[in-house]
């Protein structure tokens, strides 16, 4: 598996403590879902943090551009600011605060500070196999990847001429 991100510097709002199986199981209980194995493997390497490659190409226009959006960081598990916490960076809080659709879990921050996001979409998923969607200002989830692995593989350093 490609490691799509590493913290470039400590990020107290997205990097959690060293990941344990207990923390993953606790997060799954709190969120009511099975997390994708690829997401968990990535967090075992680095439990959230700033991304190295953060541009994701789309086949639809976004509030960013005609053909892409940017991800600045991915949320970790556990600790004060994990996706499963009770803080204002938890997935449940972000969904309520920004009125994202209640379809799954917020897993990434974008430079917009909440106007758009990336989520794991569990609406039609087998256990642990959600697709990945981009949610723009219109709050319509648009599928961008069939799996977390596909999402991670689609992140690039910058836009390249085709």
Rounded Cα gap, residues 49 and 58, in angstroms: 23
Per-residue pLDDT of the chain (162 residues; tens, 9 = 90+): 444 444 444 577 777 888 999 999 999 999 999 999 999 998 888 888 888 888 999 999 998 899 999 998 889 999 888 899 988 889 999 999 999 999 999 999 899 888 999 999 999 988 889 999 999 999 999 999 999 999 988 988 766 544
Q: How many CB atoms lie within 10 A of CB 18?
A: 11
| Number of domains observed in the structure of the chain | 1
Q: Residue 31 gets which letter from DSSP?
A: H
Q: Is residue 3 part of a domain?
A: no
Q: Is residue 94 in some structural domain?
A: yes
94 Cβ contact partners less than 8 Å away, ≥ 6 residues apart: 88, 100, 106, 114, 117
Q: Is residue 14 part of a domain?
A: no
8 occurs within a structural domain: no
pLDDT of residue 14: 75
State residue 12's pLDDT score. 72
Range of 28's domain?
21-156
Give me the CATH number covering residue 51: 3.40.1580.10
Q: Is 7 part of any domain?
A: no
**Cα gap 54→72, rounded to integer Å:** 6
Q: What is the pLDDT of residue 53?
A: 81
How confident is the model at residue 158, as a pLDDT? Answer: 67
- CA–CA distance, 81 with 121 (Å, rounded to integer): 21
| Coil/strand/helix, residue 47 | coil
Assess if residue 9 is contained within a domain: no
């Amino acid at each position: 598996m490609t490691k799509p991100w590493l913290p470039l510097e400590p990020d107290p709002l997205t990097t959690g403590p060293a990941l344990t199986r207990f923390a993953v199981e606790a997060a799954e209980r709190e969120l009511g879902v099975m997390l994708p194995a690829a997401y968990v493997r990535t967090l075992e390497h680095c439990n959230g943090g700033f991304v190295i490659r953060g541009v994701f190409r789309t086949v639809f226009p976004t509030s960013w551009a005609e053909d892409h959006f940017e991800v600045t960081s991915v949320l970790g598990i556990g600790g004060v600011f994990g996706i499963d916490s009770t803080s204002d960076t938890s997935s449940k809080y972000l969904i309520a605060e920004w009125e994202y659709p209640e379809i799954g879990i917020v897993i990434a921050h974008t430079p917009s500070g909440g106007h758009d996001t990336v989520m794991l979409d569990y609406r039609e998923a087998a256990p642990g196999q959600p697709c990945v969607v981009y949610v723009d200002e219109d709050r319509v989830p648009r599928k961008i990847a069939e799996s977390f692995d596909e999402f991670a593989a689609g992140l690039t350093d910058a836009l390249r001429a085709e």
